[in-house]
Amino acid sequence: MTLDVTSRKWSQLPGGEILQVTVYSAGSTEHPKGPFTVSDGDTIQVVVSKTIPAVPNVAGLGVYKASSKLKKLGYSVHINKEISTEPEGRVLSQSIGAGKRAIPSRTTITLTVAKPQPGVFFLVTGSGSALVTILDGNLSTRQATVSLPYETKVADGQYGVSVSAQRQLGDGGSITCSIIDSGRVMKHSTSSGPYSICSLVY
């Protein structure tokens, strides 16, 4: 007698439950539903359950780590990019919610991933407020007192931008100016002290 238990089938049942028994005898095949007898030379094939996995939560992870986690479970992964203020490559959402059970061999999970906003942005961080001055490539000047943190778009593929920010508090805090081009920090400057100023040219 030969026993074959290599066949497994996705099931809602716990893993290892017997789903089907097949007895191969000389010239016949049976699928017994209850107790059965076998003879020398018979082959018994047992199909057992394989638990359908729960989809893990990958929102907030980097796209490569998230994809790897899903692919290890057997899922196919499709990437959809969306402009976002979140860091580039961060998973914003997944097409199948965490905890839901899905058969890996039949399931593709779409990950919506952040991509940077196009253009040049000026970011000011610190405490309190700051007087922000922006001189763009067309020699147009913008100036305003804003609460921190503050971010504004200063150009689309345009260079020769001059930006500065001055703290409006007389304490010992700091202020940081950053130029961000399509999601990448190209330049930054930090200054500390009363009414400190940071400035950049890009």
Return averaged pLDDT per consecutive 10 residues of the chain, 202 residues in all.
Answer: 65 76 78 73 82 93 96 95 88 96 94 90 92 83 92 74 91 92 89 94 88
Pairing of strands 120-126, 129-135: unpaired
| CB atoms inside a 10 Å sphere around CB 48 | 17
Q: What is the pTM of this model?
A: 0.60
Instruction: Name the residue with tokens 């638990």.
Output: 51
**pLDDT for residue 1:** 56
Take residue 188 and report the two structure tokens written for it: 């930054």
**pLDDT for residue 27:** 74
The domains found in the chain, sorted by start residue, are 2-51 (no CATH), 63-115 (3.30.10.20), 120-201 (2.60.40)
